[in-house]
Structure 1
């Protein structure tokens, strides 16, 4: 990586809560800008869905094999990712958008969420002319607050009166907070009085992946956060604390989703390439040693 180190970059960050009318579907709205950035990051899978806008000089996303996924598009929808991505941003920077609740992607786009899993779809292929009109108004807006207000109005028009199965909200919350154990998905289905097959079909339509894969991503996010904050802890102890039978099972899950072992990840933490506040983002400069 060339240019300023991340600690020297002066970034303006706005994160705001959605209005009450959008809170069922929207987690946060955000805006990031900087006069200049020259930075690469490896982004591990996170439980995060986005509608994103990009007015930067350069912003691109590639897959683990460095095949380009998206480059300098002005807006796109990002489904849930189950493998790492590499982002490159340079020059004057401005990105903004919305973090969606896990079940919101299908409601917002009208597309089954499973069709957007491991995909980034340009906004005009999903929303057609309406996103181009919004993009033009955002370019004319003078402040970040005006841009986010325009985005709120766009989301309100598309999400008002949308409906989802009520049990999905409960199921997602349950899988995000419960300790993993054998049979947890079957127990959840029994609690909801539906079949495991029905629960899986609902997850794939509205959330994009099976309940089991959703739980795997949650465990990965928990593990990354724990290791980023306490990198010197025993990996065997880490495995037991998070419900794994042994370290081998921890290693298998971690590497299947990140292409890294927990030990590799810990080395990035110790090298200063990971901010504990954002444990799934690795500065790529450390990747090249």
Structure 2
């Protein structure tokens, strides 16, 4: 973890809006899970900020179809409606994740693989979609605590997730293969293409996505396309938005602009003027 703390941060970054211009506002680190936790967790991460009194930083993330488990503390009083410190479950954010950082604070989190939280804990993830809730006593037990120091907090979360007797089930393994494939293959843009790759019927695929991922296959495909389009806008010095829209699977620029504005609250051109590196 220490090496990851000191590594230079890539910028811009897929899903993190305006990362290139925010490197002085907060420190973001990522590191790999242990082998056993890694059956369910993609990576651990931490973020720390220490802002002058009265200063704020608005952070926006075009979220992935994943659940996060976080331990959070700081001098900013409350976050997500809960007093600090708190250990929280963040369901899939079906719009974009926005938060305003102020004063000083830290978060250590586990980003689960899509479906990983459901497979590890046996819970229906759709119950968490669009919500942030405190960890309940049944998740790890009433004696579960997290150390208030970033590196030790990360180890606490890793140990707790790794301490299980639940093997990844066959549905989760098949879902992981399906989602990894559509994430990496940019040619998969329509639900019909996803269903052609699915090992299940259309109805069963929908049910699996609802329980394990918390959102629909259509939502997942649109989110991956939107993330890639936003990253293209940030990284290219000049870009034809009409070409970009078609290249990422929208019917035309008007449909792309509508989806982009609905999700991020601004037009693609405005986004380019604000965040282009």
Deviation above 6 Å: which 4+ runs of structure 1?
Answer: none
- 2:108 aligns with 96
Which of 30, 34, 37 is the aligned partner of 1:19? 34
- 1:40 aligns with 57
- 1:134 aligns with 145
How many pairs align?
Answer: 253
Mapping for residues 182-201 of structure 1, pairs under 5 Å: 184-201=190-207
Q: Is the 8 A contact 1:59 1:87 kept in 2?
A: no
Per the TM alignment, residue 69 of structure 1 is displaced from its structure 2 partner at its CA by 4.8
CA RMSD of aligned residues (A): 2.7
Distance change (3 Å), C-alpha of 1:225 and 1:60: farther
Listed as ranges, the gaps of 5+ residues in structure 1 are 62-67, 271-275, 277-289
Q: Is the 8 A contact 2:56 2:103 kept in 1?
A: no
Mapping for residues 102-181 of structure 1, pairs under 5 Å: 102-124=114-136, 127=139, 129-130=141-142, 133-135=144-146, 138-139=147-148, 143-158=149-164, 160-165=166-171, 166-180=173-187
Listed as ranges, the gaps of 5+ residues in structure 2 are 1-20
Give distance in 1, aligned partners of 2:69 and 2:228.
24
User: What is the TM-score with the length of structure 1 in the denominator?
Assistant: 0.76
Distance change (3 Å), C-alpha of 1:212 and 1:102: same
Which of 74, 82, 96 is the aligned partner of 1:56? 74
Which of 260, 264, 269 is the aligned partner of 1:258? 264
Give distance in 2, aligned partners of 1:159 and 1:84.
34
The question of 1:241 aligning with 2:236 is answered: no
Q: Is the 8 A contact 1:117 1:209 kept in 2?
A: yes
- 1:226 aligns with 232
